[in-house]
Amino acid sequence: MQVVKYVFQPHGDERGQLVSLEEYNDIPFEIKRVYYMYSTVEGAVRGHHAHKSLQQILFCVHGSCKVLLDNGREKKVVPLEKPYEGLYVANNMWREMYDFSPDAVLMVLASEPYNEADYIRDYDEFLKYVNVTKAEE
């Protein structure tokens, strides 16, 4: 499984850092939604779902967390620790976010508005959807 992590060049000067993200230039899709999570409780796991068509890029703009990516056949754990790094999460990819530092702010850029019908929240259903049989797992 190929993990795509974008590393952006911050505009830094004596005042500090600034990261700019433009749709199509920096982000490979039209940004239809932005959401972020913070005050995540110690030990909490978020995500635990896949999307049928949504693409996303995850930024831990403050603090750190880990992201488990699972395409049904292979799993990878990706740490997000830098505010200028964005993890691309394609559709048909199971994801779980965990190990949030108390100060973590996880910002997500999404290619579509919120749509519950696009979610696959059951892992066995996800395996069926991506055509992975239990024996292969």
Long-range contacts of 36-45 (CB under 8 A, 24+ apart): 36/61, 36/105, 36/106, 36/107, 36/108, 37/105, 37/106, 38/104, 38/105, 38/106, 40/65, 40/100, 40/104, 40/106, 42/100, 42/102, 44/98, 44/100, 45/96, 45/97, 45/98
Residue 5 or 33 with smaller CB distance to ligand TYD: 33
User: Which of these segments, 15-23, 43-51, 76-84, 126-134, binds ligand TYD (CB under 6 A)?
Assistant: 43-51
CB of 40 to ligand TYD, least distance (A): 9
- Give the nearest residue (CB) to ligand TYD: 46
Q: Does 35 bind ligand TYD (CB under 6 A)?
A: yes
Binding site for ligand TYD (CB under 6 A): 33, 35, 46-47, 49, 114
